[in-house]
Structure 1
Amino acid sequence: MSREILTVVETVSNEKGLDPDDIFGAIEQALVFSTKKKVYTEQPEVAIRVAIDRKTGDYDTYRYWTVVADEDHEMPACQKAISDLDENEYQIGDIIEEQIESIEFGRIAATQAKQVIIQKIREAERALIADAFEARVGELITGEVKKASRDGYVIDLGDGAEGYLAKDQTLPREMLRPKSRVTALLAKVNRDGRGSQLVLSRTSNEMLVALMTKEVPEISEGIIEIRDVARLPGLRAKISVKTGDSRIDPVGACIGMRGARIQAVQQELDGERIDVVVWSDDPAQYIISSLEPADVSSIVLDEDNQTADIIFGANDQLARAIGSQGQNVRLASDLTGYKLNMMLESEYLERQKSESEAIITLFYERLEVDRDLAEALAEIGFTTIEEVAYVPAETFYDIDGLDDETIGAIQERAKEVIINDELIKQQNIKEPSGELLALEEMTPAIAYKLAERDIITLDDLAEQAVFDIEDIEGMGSELAGKLIMAARQSWFE
């Protein structure tokens, strides 16, 4: 039998390129399994070790026990209590071995060894493929469709490597047939044995970037930089580009002579329309460029909230900016990171008039000034009572007929309104319980926001669902879930 073991090791090692020691280990595992099955059928927890001599193929079998404390002595088949041994000779954690008769390397052991060896071969092959492709993540890979299923496609990449292209990573209208060639982005390499090893994508933004890099030498050479990408895969996309070389037109270089470069990319993406725009560090200019070919009349930015009002002079320009099924504005918003509010100039003026009327009414009613003065305050840019109360007095000098005394009286009245509002607010504040405030990861700000919703005690919080409170500022669904579960712990206790 020793010669048979050496023959198996040598044959498998030569054919499959496996380390001989891994094959010896697989055979040792198989012999352990067979020994338990043949000799210790009634004691499956018994601990067995087999040691094969790597030179001769001879092997010995040992049964062993682990020395444990008396209170941990729960499995006599593989444990020995320290009190049953000479404490001068053994310590907790020591291994006691006893050689037993070895079984033959028979059919059962050989079958088991074969299964382990096959698994080892698969693991080795996966490791080799992972090593070969890991450095290529983010690159384009071309292969042949080997098999199609309901959920995706297996792509033969050559040399025994296979990629997986899920249906949701393909373009909307494309149907890939066996034997057809396909180019995709290598999105991920899985080293573990679960799931597809080489994950491919044709819908990711990186796919578009890789195609543009392939077709436009100035991008691959670093002369032109792709800054942002937004895609509706298979339908339409926008990319923004910039260059530090004033002699180069980055948009023209990406499009190519007679559109040859951009057409090559579009053809690979099943006709996906691609707009190339110039990136700008000026958000207003960047948004205007992203909405081309629409002609923007004016733009009002709110950089703090990342929103922008886009105003158009004519219906046809507004329709062009929105695009078919809202594609153009959606991509422009994704590209720039701004929420874009599209409107005609007439709508914007009407909204401004409505907002101005609300501000005038606020000043007229709360500050108890006449309407002409309320209109004048709104005209020079005041929008809140806080602004009226605390800006420098010189700000009011643009209003005709106001002296310092009148300005002082207006600001004092504004401060009184603010103080009164704060007192009313404090009177209505509900106090969260100490137990609620003491919850781990609870902050005073969140606790008081909960109290405003009549969630004051642990029981109140425990009765909530995540969607009831996740909208509170600073909360989010993950923290909401943690706090609710922590509150419910008191029920179990």
Structure 2
Amino acid sequence: MHNPTQQQIEALAKEKGIDPDIVIAAIEDAVLAASHKYYKSDENLRTKFNSETGQVELFAVRQIVEDVNDPATEISLKEAQDLYGDAAEVDMEIEFPKSTEVLGRIAAQTAKQVIFQKVREAERENIYAEYSDRVGDVVPGTVKRFENGDIYVESGHVEALLPRREQSRAENYTTGDRVRAVIREVNKNAKGPQLILSRTDPVLLIKLFEQEVPEIYDGTVSIRGAVREAGDRAKVAVYSRERDVDPVGACVGMKGTRVQAIIRELRGEKIDIVEWSEDPTLFVTNAISPARVQRVTVVDETERVIEVIVDAPPETDRRWIET
């Protein structure tokens, strides 16, 4: 970088996380808008950023024609050849320099507004492109403020929303608290992209197991399903691709260390881990344990409807999660 303008462009681009060419294009557009406002002519104006001088150059562009109909945008072939010789041909364009020093304070203010708008738009597009492919990822954040029961969380360089409906009833936050949540969706609105977070989505539970259990991370053990009553209890069905690896034991960890770490993250939510099976009867039996199964009947294989008759006391029945 050999001039202050170039250095400022690089600094702004780095701060906003955008390409320097986007900043340059914004500056060119801004000077063009200011020039149209100042000159108030029908000329075809064009701007170019000079990287050597750090200045934006302004040109009136005219097309070479045989007969001129619009002097503001056209130049005759004869006149063009008087200027440039035989190199000038019909349909070519000639750029005539114009001064930008006369634009004045009002035009400069217009340029500033255009630059801000263009850079902000580019920043928003960058944020959307970055996060739209991350739906389902767990991100850390800091609680910034509360509004009508919703929580606004600062995550990286964006402000995300944790709606009331996506909050666990077992959790309470204050400003400055750290929180981890899953990106549920990324929306576009007039103020820019908005990240919608969730602390109740079963995906959060799955992602936490992936982080805590190496056998899940490397693919030895897979999670075949998860359901939650957020803040109360959850069930996770796991399966091992290797016979000598106990999927439930791997998820529980030595003395329960792995599952306890997840329970702490979910503020005491009780987690049942059951072994998944291709056999519906065996899987259902595992899933609703400790209830004793009397009979399992597959009602509809397509819709995956199963009728289960159990022998269990009412107090146990109330503790089940629908599976």
Q: Judge same fold: TM > 0.5, yes or no.
A: yes
Confirm or deny: 8 A CA contact 2:26 2:119 kept in the other structure. Answer: no
Kindly indicate whether residue 26 of structure 2 is the aligned counterpart of residue 26 of structure 1.
yes
What aligned pairs does 1:30-179 form with structure 2 within 5 A after superposition?
Answer: 30-40=30-40, 48-52=44-48, 54=50, 55-56=52-53, 57=55, 59-62=57-60, 104-123=102-121, 125-126=123-124, 138-150=136-148, 152-158=150-156, 160-179=157-176
Of 238, 260, 270, the residue aligned with 2:235 is 238
Q: Deviations over 1:153-175 (max 9, x none)?
A: 333344x4544333322212422
What aligned pairs does 1:40-439 form with structure 2 within 5 A after superposition?
Answer: 40=40, 48-52=44-48, 54=50, 55-56=52-53, 57=55, 59-62=57-60, 104-123=102-121, 125-126=123-124, 138-150=136-148, 152-158=150-156, 160-188=157-185, 195-302=192-299, 303-313=301-311, 316=313, 320-321=316-317, 323-324=318-319, 328-329=320-321, 331-332=322-323
Q: Deviations over 1:208-253 (max 9, x none)?
A: 0111122222222322111111122222211101113333332233
Partner SS for 2:285: helix
Confirm or deny: 8 A CA contact 1:141 1:185 kept in the other structure. Answer: yes
Q: Deviations over 1:370-409 (max 9, x none)?
A: xxxxxxxxxxxxxxxxxxxxxxxxxxxxxxxxxxxxxxxx
Confirm or deny: 8 A CA contact 2:44 2:73 kept in the other structure. Answer: no
The amino acid of 1:257's aligned partner reads M
The normalised TM-score by structure 1 is 0.50
Confirm or deny: 8 A CA contact 2:24 2:49 kept in the other structure. Answer: no
Distance apart, 1:295 and its partner CA: 0.9
Partner SS for 1:10: helix
Cα separation, 1, equivalents of 2:205 and 2:43: 57
Which structure shows the bigger proportion of residues in helix conformation? 1
The amino acid of 1:108's aligned partner reads I
Confirm or deny: 8 A CA contact 1:130 1:189 kept in the other structure. Answer: yes
Cα separation, 2, equivalents of 1:156 and 1:277: 36
The two structures, once aligned, show a CA RMSD in angstroms of 3.9
Confirm or deny: 8 A CA contact 1:242 1:250 kept in the other structure. Answer: yes
The amino acid of 1:167's aligned partner reads R
Cα separation, 2, equivalents of 1:48 and 1:169: 53
Unaligned runs of 5+ in 1: 1-5, 66-75, 81-88, 333-493
Distance apart, 1:201 and its partner CA: 2.3
Larger RCO: Structure 1 or Structure 2 (Cα < 8 Å, ≥ 6 residues apart)?
2
Partner SS for 1:287: helix
Partner SS for 2:293: coil
Cα separation, 2, equivalents of 1:131 and 1:309: 46
Q: Which residue of 2 aligns with 1:16?
A: 12
Distance apart, 1:114 and its partner CA: 2.0
**Pair 26,109 (structure 1): closer, same or farther in 2 beyond 3 Å:** farther
Aligned residue pair count: 294
Which structure shows the bigger proportion of residues in strand conformation? 2
Confirm or deny: 8 A CA contact 1:255 1:261 kept in the other structure. Answer: yes
Unaligned runs of 5+ in 2: 64-69, 75-88
**Pair 47,284 (structure 1): closer, same or farther in 2 beyond 3 Å:** farther
**Pair 7,152 (structure 1): closer, same or farther in 2 beyond 3 Å:** farther
Identity value in percent: 33
The amino acid of 1:26's aligned partner reads A
What aligned pairs does 1:413-492 form with structure 2 within 5 A after superposition?
Answer: none
Distance apart, 1:79 and its partner CA: 11
Partner SS for 1:177: coil
**Pair 37,234 (structure 1): closer, same or farther in 2 beyond 3 Å:** same
**Pair 136,117 (structure 1): closer, same or farther in 2 beyond 3 Å:** same
Cα separation, 1, equivalents of 2:117 and 2:158: 17
**Pair 59,253 (structure 1): closer, same or farther in 2 beyond 3 Å:** closer
Confirm or deny: 8 A CA contact 1:243 1:250 kept in the other structure. Answer: yes
The amino acid of 1:27's aligned partner reads I
Confirm or deny: 8 A CA contact 1:126 1:191 kept in the other structure. Answer: no
**Pair 225,23 (structure 1): closer, same or farther in 2 beyond 3 Å:** closer
